[in-house]
Chains A and B, each alone.
Chain A
């Protein structure tokens, strides 16, 4: 498989690296000839007591999660599964994390190592399988979220964790401003709140951890209505009705940012730090609102016409863009991998 990948790279034509294609919508429109990673699939190693799993890039996330579940473990960053075939390589390249990100950490926090083919088809190995490793630059974490622009990920090692013993979901009727305040106050106390979602004046929170901790926390957060936990998977996989829209913005802001007065409907995750916005307001207006509170706005889903006009990701200051271009050139000087997918400039 690797030999086939190398050959494609050495042909020197722009390549669109693609797993199941479930994230084709994400980033700027894909360009180049498709290189399908799914031919390189399978779990290479999984050692529950070492808390890691190593898998080839084309391995479905679902396959990995099934193997972990059999041992009572899970991927705590909850990568969204947009399709049953979504691959681990695609998940790492996109760098997206699910509802639990606010407590467990992001995908990049769980990346222990990667194997990569660079623009000259060299096989490079960074990081490894151990939890603590500071030998050499932490290239693996940079690969997370790089949207395949730095190289073809062929293998990844991820940290895994035991599933929490107890789990509870509570629901409260609450206006947005009140919910944001509550979430930030709760986060300053030692409470096992692992995820949250606010929409249409309803705040839902998820408690997880030791049984005693979850029971004690239920009393501390106040009387809410107990709900069933299936809503979290719906949220994670973005299959809820809210996400069925043509134009969707993803605003990453400080959790304490006040209610953003933007036209359209909002869904708020991560204790206030992630605000989804369904809106046809002009891009400049949305980007300015996010920047004003110290965050940024991504045009997450949009029609081809809109994507052609508006960059998916917020613009970078010039010195930071220069570093991006230098780093891109360090791994892919010919600009073969996913050209323009992250920024038009490279």
Chain B
């Protein structure tokens, strides 16, 4: 038996894991079809949606029920083997990146909707259920699950819990944390714990809130109770063009200042509309420097009132053109380009790197201007889509991994954007998580006291540090390395900035 302990000083070394002993222990708790150990079977699990980072694990476990999840975790706990949970692998921060000395615990086979109750407006689902599958099952009852990440066709509710995922409608309807009542999970030691309940409040600390967004570091999710909400009767979207990004940014603040919380408020810059238009033929104004999509939903009367109010604000804010969807087909077409922005960009560039910071809305224009400067500095193009209503940016840096040096330049470009989000009073990740990717940028956002506190939280759940190690929270050693690196390369524009 290996004894390990989670430390906030240094990453752990797992190179002493005994593969044969591990496979034997897993075979004892899993049916043969639920255990993969051949290299070609392991290959598909080497990365998640962020394919720049790859590692092949020692084994992949595909449990069919919670008892098998417990079995896998207990075996790995006993042997001191790291475990990385995995849903659909659509994550964009390397959260499900395997450990090369560890096990990937895929929840893909646990994909049943256990109960859907229209009367209580809740659904109880297994972790591998796809986000959209919940809304599809609820649709006959006039209900749906509100958080709608663009990846909703593929991503799982377990992954959504881990990342606290949002979507284009979370400005009005909230993130995952606002739409989940209860999570059942298994700790690394194999203990089953219920977080939250079928009621709105539960006694004790709100550990449900802690678990949501914890990037698979605290427990493996095995069952979820989600809230379902009634589908609005109608929705309409305004598409507004602006001849300057500054005006579009100001218009976002003007809408909020007018007391309106739109169902969705998204922005795309010219590079983005030009990239997606050939793909979706949404009819975007390709001469506009930026377009805003502002959606209203509710009763027909309500929507009419709100659309009129938003139109008035947008006109006053200097929109050069305003179109309002007349039917649902047109509404979906307006949205199509925004929802398909990532794949569309994938079709115009060999590779792209999706960033995910949040900044105060009022600084959107400033950020866009700074990004334009960085494009020149790094010699790379960047396409910008935003969840503008909540200040969540998704700059997509275009690069070609086959050109030597481009990935490194892209990473440096990305790190500079993230450092700027912190400087502008925001955060390095709004919804994609820190994962493996942004671990260095965490050192920019947090001081060592907070990082040490995060490690103590981790140790409260997983004292040996076996669940998804070297992700999300950097060790102090890593931050020291990161500090040396960025001072050395001089890549961050404001190394003198205080961390906060």
Q: Which residues of A contact B (CB under 8 A)?
A: 47-51, 72, 95, 101-102, 105-106, 108-109, 118, 122-126, 128-139, 141-142, 144-146, 150, 161-163, 165, 184-185, 187-192, 209-213, 215-217, 252-256, 270, 273-274, 294-296, 298, 313-314, 316-317, 319-320, 323-324, 326-327, 329-331, 342-343
Contact = CB atoms under 8 A, between A and B. Distances in A.
B87 to A, nearest CB: 16
B230 A129 contact: no
A190 B230 CA distance: 5
Pick the most buried of B205, B425, B473: most chain A CB atoms within 10 A of its CB. Answer: B205
Interface stretch (B42-50, B252-260, B278-286, B483-491): B252-260
Pick the most buried of B198, B210, B425, B426: most chain A CB atoms within 10 A of its CB. Answer: B198
A137 B213 contact: yes
In the A-B complex, the 9 residue pairs with the smallest Cβ-Cβ separation, listed nearest first, are A212-B301, A326-B460, A162-B259, A141-B209, A330-B456, A132-B430, A213-B302, A131-B390, A295-B199
Nearest to B228: A188
Size bracket of the B interface? 35 or more
A253 B203 CA distance: 12
Interface in B425-461: 425-434, 438, 442, 445-447, 449-450, 453-454, 456-461
B341 interface: no
Contact of B425 (A129, A145, A316): A129
B178 interface: yes
A310 to B, nearest CB: 13
Contact of B453 (A139, A192, A210, A343): A139
Interface of B: 117-121, 141-143, 163-164, 166, 170-171, 174-175, 177-178, 187, 191-195, 197-207, 209-210, 212-215, 218, 230-233, 253-254, 256-257, 259-261, 298-299, 301-302, 304-306, 358-362, 387, 390-392, 425-434, 438, 442, 445-447, 449-450, 453-454, 456-461, 472-473, 500
Contacts of A209: 298, 302
Contacts of B359: 130
Nearest to A313: B203
Given A130-B427, A135-B427, A137-B214, A187 B454 contact: no
Nearest to A190: B230
A298 B233 CA distance: 38
B259 A165 contact: yes
Contacts of A252: 199-202
A190 B304 CA distance: 16
B207 A135 contact: no
Contacts of A135: 427-429, 434, 438, 442, 445-446
Pick the most buried of B256, B359, B438, B442: most chain A CB atoms within 10 A of its CB. Answer: B256
7 contacts: A95-B206, A187-B121, A216-B299, A217-B299, A316-B203, A319-B192, A327-B457
B253 to A, nearest CB: 4
Nearest to A149: B205
Contact of A124 (B207, B212, B450, B472): B450
Given A138-B210, A162-B261, A212-B302, A102 B200 contact: yes
B301 A330 contact: no
B108 to A, nearest CB: 23
Given A319-B191, A327-B460, 6 more contacts: A49-B253, A209-B302, A213-B301, A274-B200, A295-B198, A320-B207
A298 B232 CA distance: 35
A268 to B, nearest CB: 13
Nearest to A113: B427
Contact of A320 (B204, B232, B442): B204
A301 B370 CA distance: 56
Contacts of A50: 360-362
